[in-house]
Chain A
Amino acid sequence: MSFVEFRFLWFFLLLFIVYWTMRDNTARKVWLLLCSYVFYAAWNWRFTLLLLGSTTVDYIVGRMLARCKSRGSRRLWIATSVCANLGVLGFFKYFNFFVSSGSEFLAWLGLPTSVSTLNIILPVGISFYTFHSMSYTIDVYRGRQRAISNFVDLALFISFFPPLVAGPIVRAVNFLPQLVSARKFSDVDVRGAVILFLAGFIKKACIADAVAPIVDRYFAQPANFTAMSAWIGVLFYAIQIYCDFSGYTDMAIAAARLLGYQLSINFQFPYFAQNVSDFWRRWHISLSSWLRDYLYIPLGGNRGPRWFVYRNIMITMLLGGLWHGAAWTFVLWGALHGTALLIHREWTRLTNGLEWARRATRWLAWPITVYLVCVAWIFFRAHDLSRAATILKQFVLFRGGGSEHLHRWMLLVIVALAFVHWLNSRRWFAQPWRSWPAPIFAAAYGCTAALVLLFVPPHYTPFIYFQF
Chain B
Amino acid sequence: MTVPTRQQSLRWQLINSGIGLSAFLLTCMGLHAILPFPAIDGGVSQKLRFFAVHKDEFDTLFIGSSRVYFQISPAIFDRVMREEGIPTRSFNFGIGGMYLPESAYVLEQLLNTKPRNLKWVFIEYDELQTKWAFENQTSRRALYWADWKRTSLLLRKLTDVGIDAVWLPSPKKLRDIILCRKGEANTYQQLIFHTAQFEKNFANIARAADILDYFWGRDIGKWDPNYLGAAGDGYIPKKGGMSASQAAAYERALGLAMGTKPPVASISPYTVEAYRQCAQKVRATGAEPIFLVTPSATQFDIAYRDNNARPPGAVMAFNNPRAYPNLYRSSARRDQQHLTKSGGEEFTRMMAVNFAQFIQAGEVK
Q: Using CB atoms and an 8 Å cutoff, list the residues of chain A in contact with chain B.
A: 5-7, 186, 438-439, 441-447, 449-451, 453-460
**What residues on A are CB-neighbors of B17 within 8 Å?**
442
Residue of A nearest to B19 (CB): A442
Q: Are B205 and A453 in contact (CB under 8 A)?
A: yes
Stretch at the interface among B92-100, B137-145, B149-157: B137-145
Q: Contacts A450-B204, A457-B206 hold; do A6 and B199 have CB atoms under 8 A apart?
A: yes
Among A442, A447, A457, contact of B16 (Cβ-Cβ < 8 Å): A442
**What residues on B are CB-neighbors of A5 within 8 Å?**
196
Q: Contacts A6-B200, A449-B24, A460-B138 hold; do A454 and B19 have CB atoms under 8 A apart?
A: no
**What residues on A are CB-neighbors of B16 within 8 Å?**
438-439, 441-442
Which residues of B (74-120) have their CB < 8 Å from a CB of A? none
B27 to chain A, nearest CB (A): 4
How distant is the Cα of A443 from the Cα of B207 in the complex, in angstroms?
22
Q: Contacts A449-B24, A450-B27, A454-B31 hold; do A439 and B19 have CB atoms under 8 A apart?
A: yes
Among B28, B143, B200, contact of A450 (Cβ-Cβ < 8 Å): B28
Among B15, B20, B208, contact of A445 (Cβ-Cβ < 8 Å): B20
How distant is the Cα of A444 from the Cα of B27 in the complex, in angstroms?
10
Q: Are B205 and A456 in contact (CB under 8 A)?
A: yes
How distant is the Cα of A162 from the Cα of B31 in the complex, in angstroms?
32
How distant is the Cα of A443 from the Cα of B139 in the complex, in angstroms?
31
How distant is the Cα of A451 from the Cα of B26 in the complex, in angstroms?
11
Among A7, A442, A450, contact of B203 (Cβ-Cβ < 8 Å): A450
Q: Are A443 and B192 in contact (CB under 8 A)?
A: no
A7 to chain B, nearest CB (A): 7
Q: Are B27 and A7 in contact (CB under 8 A)?
A: no
- Interface residue B23 (Cβ < 8 Å from any Cβ of A): yes
**What residues on A are CB-neighbors of B208 within 8 Å?**
454-455
- Interface residue B185 (Cβ < 8 Å from any Cβ of A): no
Query: Would you give the 0/1 interface string for B18-41, flagging 1 where the beta carbon is closer than 8 Å to chain A?
Result: 011111110110010000000000
Q: Are A446 and B23 in contact (CB under 8 A)?
A: yes
**What residues on B are CB-neighbors of A446 within 8 Å?**
19-25, 27
B61 to chain A, nearest CB (A): 29
**What residues on A are CB-neighbors of B207 within 8 Å?**
454
B20 to chain A, nearest CB (A): 4
Q: Are A458 and B138 in contact (CB under 8 A)?
A: yes
How distant is the Cα of A447 from the Cα of B195 in the complex, in angstroms?
22
- Interface residue B148 (Cβ < 8 Å from any Cβ of A): no
Which of B12, B22, B23, B199 neighbours the largest number of chain A CB atoms within 10 Å of its CB? B23
How distant is the Cα of A442 from the Cα of B12 in the complex, in angstroms?
11
Q: What are 26 sample pairs from A and B whose C-beta atoms fall under 8 A apart?
A: A6-B195, A6-B200, A7-B192, A438-B12, A439-B15, A439-B16, A442-B16, A442-B20, A443-B19, A443-B20, A446-B23, A446-B27, A447-B24, A449-B24, A450-B23, A450-B28, A451-B27, A451-B31, A454-B204, A454-B205, A454-B207, A454-B208, A457-B206, A459-B138, A459-B139, A460-B138
Q: Are A447 and B203 in contact (CB under 8 A)?
A: no
Residue of B nearest to A42 (CB): B192
Residue of A nearest to B205 (CB): A456
How distant is the Cα of A343 from the Cα of B126 in the complex, in angstroms?
69
How distant is the Cα of A347 from the Cα of B207 in the complex, in angstroms?
51
- Interface residue B253 (Cβ < 8 Å from any Cβ of A): no
**What residues on A are CB-neighbors of B22 within 8 Å?**
443, 446
How distant is the Cα of A458 from the Cα of B132 in the complex, in angstroms?
15
Which of B21, B24, B199, B203 neighbours the largest number of chain A CB atoms within 10 Å of its CB? B24
**What residues on B are CB-neighbors of A444 within 8 Å?**
23
Q: Are B196 and A7 in contact (CB under 8 A)?
A: yes
**What residues on A are CB-neighbors of B249 within 8 Å?**
none
**What residues on B are CB-neighbors of A451 within 8 Å?**
27, 31
How distant is the Cα of A460 from the Cα of B205 in the complex, in angstroms?
11
Residue of A nearest to B142 (CB): A458
How distant is the Cα of A6 from the Cα of B202 in the complex, in angstroms?
12
Q: Are A458 and B19 in contact (CB under 8 A)?
A: no
How distant is the Cα of A457 from the Cα of B204 in the complex, in angstroms?
10
**What residues on A are CB-neighbors of B138 within 8 Å?**
458-460
**What residues on B are CB-neighbors of A457 within 8 Å?**
206
**What residues on B are CB-neighbors of A455 within 8 Å?**
206, 208
How distant is the Cα of A446 from the Cα of B19 in the complex, in angstroms?
8
- Interface residue B211 (Cβ < 8 Å from any Cβ of A): yes
Residue of B nearest to A446 (CB): B23
Q: Are B203 and A458 in contact (CB under 8 A)?
A: no
Q: Known contacts A446-B22, A453-B203, A458-B205; can you find 16 more A-B pairs with CB under 8 A?
A: A6-B195, A6-B200, A6-B203, A446-B20, A446-B27, A447-B23, A447-B27, A450-B28, A451-B27, A454-B31, A454-B205, A454-B208, A454-B211, A456-B205, A458-B138, A458-B143
Q: Are A443 and B23 in contact (CB under 8 A)?
A: yes
How distant is the Cα of A401 from the Cα of B24 in the complex, in angstroms?
47
B177 to chain A, nearest CB (A): 16
A429 to chain B, nearest CB (A): 19
B40 to chain A, nearest CB (A): 11
How distant is the Cα of A59 from the Cα of B223 in the complex, in angstroms?
69
**What residues on A are CB-neighbors of B139 within 8 Å?**
458-459
How distant is the Cα of A442 from the Cα of B16 in the complex, in angstroms?
6
Q: Are B196 and A450 in contact (CB under 8 A)?
A: no
How distant is the Cα of A455 from the Cα of B21 in the complex, in angstroms?
19
